[in-house]
Amino acid sequence: MDNNIYVTRSSMPPYEEYIEMIKPLWESHKLTNMGENHKKLESELKKYLGVKNVSLMTNGHMALEMALQAMHLSGEVITTPFTFVSTTHAIVRNNLTPVFCDINERDLTIDVDKIEELITEKTSAIVPVHVYGHICDVERIEQIAKKYNLKVIYDAAHAFGVTYKDRSITAYGDASILSFHATKVFNTIEGGAVVYESEKLGHELYGLKNFGIRNELTIDGVGANAKMDEFRAIMGLCNLKYVDQEARKRELIVSTYQKELNGINGIRYFDKQKSVRPNYSYFPIIIDENKYGICRDDLYDRLKEYGIFTRKYFYPLVSNTECYSKNYYYKNLEIASNISERVLTLPLYSELSIENVKRICGLINNIGG
Ligand code: T4K
């Protein structure tokens, strides 16, 4: 038995429930291509999120690639380097040029005060990220986008279930993408979705995820294949029943972390944002070496010795990765660079016991110099 504690652990529904739900597939043999469960999950998610349209995709990355492609963008896209590489890859794979904007220290999302200075005549869109489920300043971003006639596509991979002013955070912008990867608060094993309003965009997305096929005789676009199959749609339907229950467990874990870490010199965590219902998807801390006594990398290594496997999400900064540092030129990413050297995400999943949370905090307390 593996007694290690990892940064997360997939949520799974009761075994019997999943088996019961997949049994009919042995009768129907209808395994994919927008089957019954695919349709059902789309409609359940619309209800759960309270949004107009949801288009399921095979994963969050393809959701972003497809959403960007469906917008027919060109030129430059302003985005954040403090994210998972998928965000930038999706931009570049659409033949667009990423222009990195620094983040704010408050919640680590894109710094809205620095967006306008990066806008040129080539800018066509902004791709902000609700990193860790911390929401971006959606109101300021909307103002900027209107002023310069830019599209806004939110990478909401971490933000399933997050609301702002009682409205799903995915309802903001021209579209938002979600990830339903095994490591996310809501999972379909692999999976994702685009949340959007425009029916025209929905038509494009459907074509893009299904080879451009409209019917047996009509193929009206150069599409890819990004469909979700029935097994994964069923996993989603099962997991969705438990997502609120899981969120309450995560909430307790987060409040325990906050209580136990409170007062440890040089360890900073993030409080709930105003008017936001969080989803407790990640628990990042920022280490101030001067006050804590040792640096982030040393804390990461020391915790490992005790079988606690934290993660350096998001280090290296995307702009410093091999595939981007040589091909693009960026400047003024001071905060993102600094945070990426000092951030550590602690284990967080619904089955993590409060006893273990206290143990992790005790270790963090003792390890500090
Ligand atoms: N945009 C953003 C901002 C994202 O963060 C992501 C994905 C995307 C877009 C793209 O969405 P997807 O195409 O992935 O749907 C993970 C995930 O693979 C990735 O989905 C996620 N973000 C990223 C932040 O983290 P790794 O390489 O850290 O995962 P891995 O395999 O090391 O897993 C971490 C821990 O999770 C393991 O130690 C144990 C646990 N785990 C993992 C897997 C795979 C499980 O409990 N069950 C599992 O099946 O990337």
Residue of the CA atom closest to atom 12 of ligand 1: 60
Low-confidence ranges of the chain (pLDDT < 70): none
> What's the 183 CA to ligand 1 centre distance in angstroms?
5
Give the tens place of pLDDT for each residue, 250-291. 999 999 999 999 999 999 999 999 999 999 999 999 999 999
**pLDDT value of position 369:** 73
CATH 3.90.1150.10 segments of the chain: 243-367
Cβ atoms of 168 and 196 closer than 8 Å: no
Residue of the CA atom closest to atom 49 of ligand 1: 182
**pLDDT value of position 2:** 83
Q: Which residue(s) pair with 267 in the sheet?
A: 287
Residues in contact with 203: Cβ distance below 8 Å, sequence separation at least 6, in sequence order:
none
Question: Helix 354-367 vs helix 243-261: angle between axes, to the nearest 10 degrees?
Answer: 30
Q: Which of 30, 47, 151, 184 is catalytic?
A: 184
CATH number attached to the domain at 243-367: 3.90.1150.10
Helix locations, 50-98, DSSP H? 60-70, 85-92
Other residues' Cβ atoms within 10 Å of the Cβ of residue 189: 17
Asked if 200 is an active-site residue, the reply is no
Contacts 24+ apart (CB under 8 A), 267-270: 267/292, 267/364, 267/368, 270/107, 270/108, 270/132, 270/134
This prediction has a pTM of 0.98
What distance in Å separates the CA atoms of residue 92 and residue 76, rounded to the nearest whole number?
Answer: 10
> What's the 144 CA to ligand 1 centre distance in angstroms?
32
> What's the 87 CA to ligand 1 centre distance in angstroms?
13
**pLDDT value of position 296:** 98
Helix locations, 262-313, DSSP H? 289-292, 296-305
Give the tens place of pLDDT for each residue, 173-232. 999 999 999 999 999 999 999 999 999 999 999 999 999 999 999 999 999 999 999 999
Indicate the fold that domain 15-240 takes in CATH.
Aspartate Aminotransferase; domain 2 (3.40.640)
Residues with CB under 6 A from ligand 1: 6-10, 59-61, 83-84, 86-87, 129, 155, 157-158, 179, 181-183, 192, 309, 311, 313
**pLDDT value of position 330:** 81
CATH 3.40.640.10 segments of the chain: 15-240
Residues in contact with 264: Cβ distance below 8 Å, sequence separation at least 6, in sequence order:
292, 361, 364, 365, 368
Give the distance, in angstroms, between the CA of residue 190 and the centroid of all CA atoms in the same chain: 13
Please choose from 64, 129, 183, 308 the residue to mutate so as to test ligand 1's pocket, defined by most ligand atoms within 8 A of CB.
Answer: 183
Residue of the CA atom closest to atom 31 of ligand 1: 183
Kindly report the backbone phi and psi dihedral angles of residue 38, in degrees, each rounded to the nearest multiple of 5, phi listed first. -60, -50
